[in-house]
Amino acid sequence: MKNNKNCMGDEKQIIEEKVRCDIIVVLDKLIIKLQRKDINDLGNISNEIIHCASVFQDVHSVSIAVVAYALYKIVEREDNIDPQFITRLIKARNYLQKYKIERFNKEINQLTKEITKKDRQLNLYIKHVFNEAEIKKGSKIYDHGISLAQTAKLLNISQWELMKYIGKTKVIDFLPEKIDVKQRLQFTRLLFRQSTVNNKV
């Protein structure tokens, strides 16, 4: 019997049960609409998922909202969709149904990489979703550094970039109150290393 509050897959990744179930439902809808290339309904599904992200404001619902919106924009522009994208979504949904959260995350991570190769505007889509879902300082995602790191990893962007999407200008604005000085310095150095690497690419 699964815990009603949250569930843990065999890879020790945690996701709230309500969030898991809702993501499965919207993934089912998204997969069907992509297969039909139904642009109008894809837009509605994308808005529905963004609404879920605004309610839950957790790593997984936000990443799915970004993916859904990006795929909607691709279909809207090209009237076509790479079958591999749908295959990834099906695999991600199946892993989530089986509580294999880490494998679900890997599929979403790989999907965002493939979307980036197809559409260089992913960063704009991320910004749109964050604005629409009103994800900002004080939301659940930013309660802990690890949540920010997980979100950035799933979306294939640096934590530094992710912070910019919520209007952060200072690292200190993000860091949780309970982190000591040494941890704050370590985290700041990590962000600057990421920023330097990205600028060289």
Domain map (residue ranges) of the chain: 6-200
pLDDT per residue, tens digit, the chain (201 aa), is 344 444 444 444 568 898 899 999 999 999 999 998 888 888 888 888 888 887 877 888 888 999 999 999 999 888 888 999 999 999 999 999 999 999 999 999 999 999 999 888 888 888 888 777 766 544 555 554 546 777 777 787 777 777 776 655 343 344 444 444 455 455 445 545 544 544 454
Q: How far is CA 4 from CA 13, 18, 76, in A?
A: 15, 8, 38
Which residues touch 4 (CB under 8 Å, ≥6 apart)? 17
